[in-house]
Amino acid sequence: MRVPQISMSVFEERRKKLSNQLRDSALILVANPEHIRNGDVAYAYRQDTNFFYLTGFEEPNAIFVYRPGKNPETALFVMPKNPDQETWTGFRYGIDGAKKHFHVDAAFSIESIRAELPRLLADVEQIHHTLFVDQGFDQMLLEIVKNLASSRSRSNRGHLTISDPRSMIGELRIRKSPAEIDWHRRACEASAEAHVEVMRAVRPGISERALHGVFLRAIMERGCAREGYGAIVASGENATTLHYTFNDQICRDGDLLLLDAGGEFNYFSGDITRVFPVNGRFNEAQKRIYQKVLTVQKDLVAMVKPGIARESLQKETISRLTDVMIDEKLLRGRKEDLIEKKEYLKFYMHGVSHWLGMDVHDAGTTSVNGEPRLVEPGFVLTVEPGLYVPADIPGIPDELRGIGIRIEDDILVTDSGNENLTIRSPKEIADIEAVMAKR
């Protein structure tokens, strides 16, 4: 027997916030499908974020229909109980359990979706559904829309339209409630402490894979269910690949290690990058370039407050990192020309910030009415400038070849400015070396 770990009032309140925008509409959410990894082994299951956000229900083969103001207002289609199968694959809530524990007006077997859904769509004017995730379901939905069209055509209303609800739900997800901030804080703090565990474990000769294991153990010991994304455990030159995920090389004396990893707690993700020396001490060139990126990163974090646009952070990053590139003889020429010709892209080629939440690159548009979105209290965003020097391009100082630096924190916007949720993971050179000296 299982019971939901989060109070259903959380999900009911979230749904309520959507209700005005869904008058005379049906929102349909389809649970993430299961995927086979190999043979009869499935990939570890994780519910679709929007499905979980509005229901709290974590099983696959489920569909949720929300029709504010109608009866039933909420309907959940789930796998029925099946003791034989549950002996193999574990507990299911079943139809009665879904109704009892997830506070929905009606629960049905997923097998009856074809019979029941037309009735739930007969008295609405619009459908909100994300197409192309489960194309089998899409096909069935289109058939239902077609069949309903004949009754609607007599009143000249045309087909029910289908619109994508992601930006509407994203508008809610971008503003975190106090409870959500608590969960997000847990994810970020667990992730930050896990980074420290990896700093303590790294040494010449250890594999990136073993360090990944250290990170996983540390986040799970702190209550995280899983990672928020596949960790990047990149030693030496591997750090110049932005989303390096092989994580199978041996860490070498004299190299740096870039760890970009975050745990997920109650579906909220941390996203932290730290760079530290495999042998515990930065060499002079590493120290110099790391310190320059760190100074930029800290200045960017200080800029985060209500009313700033992420675009402003990006502009400042390009300007400041181009200065570093000129200073370090990675680029030559006038700063304005180098920026105009986007020469900085050779060494810095990604956004400096993204929304963070239940998805690592979280929901919520970056612009509103064609204007850059200004951040508000309750938003969480990353700040992550980086500098990546490929080993094999001509005309650059040898001491910088193959160095990749990214420093990434998770920043909560507050009324008066911001709070760094990942402060527990040291980033000052002296602090990192002090942690590593105690190994």
**Residue 384 bears catalytic tag:** yes
**Residue 212 bears catalytic tag:** no
Site string for ligand GLY, 370-389 (x = CB under 6 A): --------------x-----
Q: Which of 382, 418, 420, 422 binds Mn ion (CB under 5 A)?
A: 382
Q: Which of 40, 84, 371, 398 is catalytic?
A: 40
Q: Are 109 and 95 in contact (CB under 8 A)?
A: yes
Q: Which of 180, 227, 271, 343 binds ligand GLY (CB under 6 A)?
A: 271
Binds 229: which of Mn ion, ligand GLY, none (CB < 5-8 Å by kind): ligand GLY
Buried residues in 146-174 as b, exposed as e (16+ CB within 10 A): eebeeeeeeeeeeebebeebbebbbbbbb
Binds 58: which of Mn ion, ligand GLY, none (CB < 5-8 Å by kind): none
**Residue 361 bears catalytic tag:** yes
**Residue 299 bears catalytic tag:** no
Q: Does 260 bind ligand GLY (CB under 6 A)?
A: yes
Q: Under DSSP, is residue 347 helix (H, G, I), strand (E, B) or coil?
A: coil
Nearer Cβ to ligand GLY, position 360 or 396? Answer: 360
**Residue 271 bears catalytic tag:** yes
- The one-letter amino acid code at 170 reads G
DSSP output for 289-336: HHHHHHHHHHHHHHH-STT-BHHHHHHHHHHHHHHHHHHTTSS-S-HH
Q: Which of 180, 260, 264, 328 is catalytic?
A: 260
Nearer Cβ to Mn ion, position 243 or 342? Answer: 243
| Rounded-to-integer distance, Cα 161 and Cα 129, Å | 10
Question: How far is it between the farthest Cα atoms of the chain?
Answer: 79
List phi, psi (to 5°) of 297. Answer: -60, -45
Shortest distance, position 312 Cβ to ligand GLY, whole Å: 19
Q: What share of the chain is helix, strand, coil (3-state, %, to 5)?
A: 40, 20, 40
Q: Which of 92, 222, 310, 406 is catalytic?
A: 406
Q: How many CA atoms lie within 13 A of 151 on its CB side?
A: 12
**Residue 408 bears catalytic tag:** yes
Q: Does 197 bind Mn ion (CB under 5 A)?
A: no
Nearer Cβ to ligand GLY, position 255 or 271? Answer: 271
Binds 347: which of Mn ion, ligand GLY, none (CB < 5-8 Å by kind): none
Q: Does 271 bind Mn ion (CB under 5 A)?
A: yes
The CB density around residue 236, as the number of other CB atoms within 10 Å, is 21
| Rounded-to-integer distance, Cα 265 and Cα 5, Å | 12
Q: Which of 180, 255, 260, 328 binds Mn ion (CB under 5 A)?
A: 260
Q: Which of 175, 200, 350, 424 is catalytic?
A: 350
Residue 86 falls in which region: left (phi positive, over 0), alpha (psi -120 to 50) or beta: alpha
Shortest distance, position 432 Cβ to Mn ion, whole Å: 18
User: Could you tell me which of 273, 309, 291 has the C-alpha nearest to residue 430?
Assistant: 291
Residue keyed to tokens 């045309």: 158
Shortest distance, position 59 Cβ to Mn ion, whole Å: 30
Q: Under DSSP, is residue 414 helix (H, G, I), strand (E, B) or coil?
A: coil
**Residue 34 bears catalytic tag:** no
Q: Which of 35, 119, 157, 243 is catalytic?
A: 243
Binds 75: which of ligand GLY, Mn ion, none (CB < 5-8 Å by kind): none
| Rounded-to-integer distance, Cα 99 and Cα 132, Å | 28
Q: Which of 48, 264, 359, 384 is catalytic?
A: 384
Nearer Cβ to Mn ion, position 216 or 285? Answer: 216
Angle at the Cα of 101 (from 165 to 46), degrees rounded to 5?
Answer: 50
| Rounded-to-integer distance, Cα 11 and Cα 102, Å | 9
| Rounded-to-integer distance, Cα 434 and Cα 439, Å | 9
Site string for Mn ion, 217-256 (x = CB under 5 A): ----------------------------------------
Nearer Cβ to ligand GLY, position 173 or 354? Answer: 354
Shortest distance, position 310 Cβ to ligand GLY, whole Å: 13
Q: Which of 229, 267, 276, 344 binds ligand GLY (CB under 6 A)?
A: 229
Binds 212: which of Mn ion, ligand GLY, none (CB < 5-8 Å by kind): none
**Which spans of this chain sit near Mn ion (rule: CB under 5 A)?**
260, 271, 382, 408
Q: Catalogue the active-site residues.
A: 40, 243, 260, 271, 350, 354, 361, 384, 388, 406, 408
Kindly list the residues in this chain that would bind ligand GLY in the complex (CB under 6 A). 229, 260, 271, 354, 360, 384, 408
